[in-house]
A and B are shown apart, each in its own frame.
Chain A
Amino acid sequence: MIKIRQFIHSFGWPRIIIGLFLLSLFILAPFFNVNVATSISDTIVRFGQNGLMVLAMVPMIHSGCGLNFGLPLGIIAGLLGGTLAIEFNFVGPVSFLMAILLATPFAVLFGWGYGKLLNKVKGSEMMIATYVGFSSVAFMCMMWLLLPYDSPTMVWGYAGTGLRTTISTEGFYLHVLTNFLKFRLGETLMVPTGMLLFFALIAFFMWAFLHTKRGTAMTAVGSNPVFARASGIDIDKTRTLSVIMSTWLGAIGILVYQQSFGFIQLYMGPFYMALPAVSAILIGGASVNKASIVNVIVGTFLFQGIVTMTPSVMNSMIHTDMSEVIRIVVSNGMILYALTRKSEATR
């Protein structure tokens, strides 16, 4: 009994409620003629789509920079990589590789600047991260109009300049990961092996990194900066590194998302992308200053499960699509819960 209580305490009520909610959705689904296999398949695909963006939270949480509300900055690096790869006319799987390669310098540059900025504002990183994300998206809105792109697949037809709001990745890197080693179980259950493998690979690297000397140093900076300084770790440098990593993961994350989703969304597209990723990792059991790869996997699966299941089950149950509202309440409620917890470590 005590053990259960301890478990509940460490796991937190909101997560249990969310878990039970998802479970009940899966149980209810067959009674309302919702195809469970399709839903699971959808959930897996969405997991693959969003996993990396959730993983992008991990380095910054480890180094004590808090939740990465500035994820849009990384996404912008990814968008630059993707659009440049198309502009230079790479096609097929090569374009995906090139998109990653082209996005990397931007991600490193943005991440470096962003990290320097966050080092100046220790203690209120999250608020500033949010607004760095917003203003960079707004700034890029102008840039998408002005940058001299001229690939006919991307610019507005009538003006000849300025990128379209959505650009199809078809013919470029659409489904390059999803279709790699893809297999079907039965009629409806599709497993995008390549995408999952890619996620697993990056997640493994992340895990391995966190166990190297630099990785443990990063954790030390986050959990106990005084100790970290005493043992000769350059705090600012470590934090900057973590921010660069987060930004880069965000960039790769959006590319993986686009190859599965099929479209590059420019302009205000990345605006609110941080919130779902943030709440996903929190649902997975992370807190403002503690996160693991398991949190990422569990959280993304739970969050995407809810996002897929609520519309279909709710729709057939009460003939109203309340999923949007439920998603808003659940995801923001989760973030709120995490923000109001007393942090275990003092920063």
Chain B
Amino acid sequence: MKKIHFTRRNYVQLASVAVILLIAVLMFIVGRQHTVLLDNKTVEHEGKTYTAFSIVTVEVDREGELELAARDRDKAEVMGQRHKITVVYTDRSFEEHTLVKKFKVPIGQDMVLLSIPALVGEADESVWLQPFFPPTAAVAPQAEVLPTEDVLAVDITF
């Protein structure tokens, strides 16, 4: 009788650890930050040209509207994987259109490059949403002071 009670306790412990791990994984997924680079540049793909807009307003989720002139690039930092982009543009006949599109960022990807002309031009998703790897700039190594043991940053020579 006692033994059964004991194992039940263990089950509860095990279950709570599992739940916590699950929460951890969930938090990892939900809280993952991605940078979406919004690009308003003319792109060519398989012979098709998607011309840049002279001016376009975009908003990713509710992060605030961004205005992009031609050849502009801006970024939106977003949390999680599923996002919605709202593009407000005027076509050649000066008519205003609003395009809302949903997209997903793979969890392992820090940065994605989103081409607005390609998106509006109804290109394939693989064309308007591409993984982006920031160029590792050659920065001269800065001398950084190594920490000392003490609270108030006093150097003690001993």
Contacts and interface: CB of A to CB of B under 8 A. Distances in A.
B156 A272 contact: yes
Interface stretch (A22-30, A221-229, A261-269): A261-269
B144 to A, nearest CB: 13
Most buried by A among B152, B157, B158: B158
Contact of B152 (A271, A273, A307): A271
Interface residues of A, number: 14
- Name B's interface SS: loop
Nearest to B154: A268
Nearest to A307: B158
A192 interface: no
B158 A271 contact: no
Nearest to A267: B154
Contact of B149 (A50, A261, A272, A307): A272
B96 interface: no
A50 B150 contact: no
Nearest to B152: A268
Interface residues of B, number: 10
A324 interface: yes
Interface string A36-54: 0000000000000010000
Contact of A269 (B146, B149, B151, B156): B156
Contact of A50 (B148, B152, B158): B158
Interface string A246-279: 0000000000000001000101110111001000
A345 interface: no
A276 B152 contact: no
A339 interface: no
B31 to A, nearest CB: 32
Most buried by A among B148, B152, B156, B157: B156
A201 interface: no
Contacts, number: 27
Nearest to A304: B158
A261 B158 CA distance: 9
Contacts of B152: 268, 271
Contacts of A273: 156, 158
A187 to B, nearest CB: 25
Contacts of B154: 267-269, 271-272
A267 B155 CA distance: 11
Contact of B157 (A261, A267, A268, A328): A261
Interface in A105-138: none
A321 B148 CA distance: 13
B158 A276 contact: yes
Interface string A311-336: 00000000001001000100000000
Contacts of B146: 321, 324
A272 B148 CA distance: 11
Contacts of A272: 149-150, 154, 156
Interface string B128-158: 0000000000000000001011111010111
Nearest to A165: B154
A271 B149 contact: no
B158 to A, nearest CB: 5
A307 B157 CA distance: 11
Nearest to A261: B157
Nearest to B148: A324
Interface string A292-305: 00000000000000
Given A269-B156, A272-B156, 16 more contacts: A50-B158, A261-B157, A268-B150, A268-B154, A271-B150, A271-B151, A271-B154, A271-B156, A272-B149, A272-B150, A272-B154, A307-B158, A321-B146, A324-B146, A324-B149, A328-B149
20 contacts: A50-B158, A267-B154, A268-B150, A268-B152, A269-B154, A269-B156, A271-B151, A271-B152, A271-B154, A271-B156, A272-B149, A272-B150, A272-B154, A272-B156, A273-B156, A276-B158, A324-B146, A324-B148, A324-B149, A328-B149
Q: Which 7 A-B pairs have the closest CB atoms?
A: A268-B154, A276-B158, A268-B152, A272-B150, A272-B156, A328-B149, A271-B154
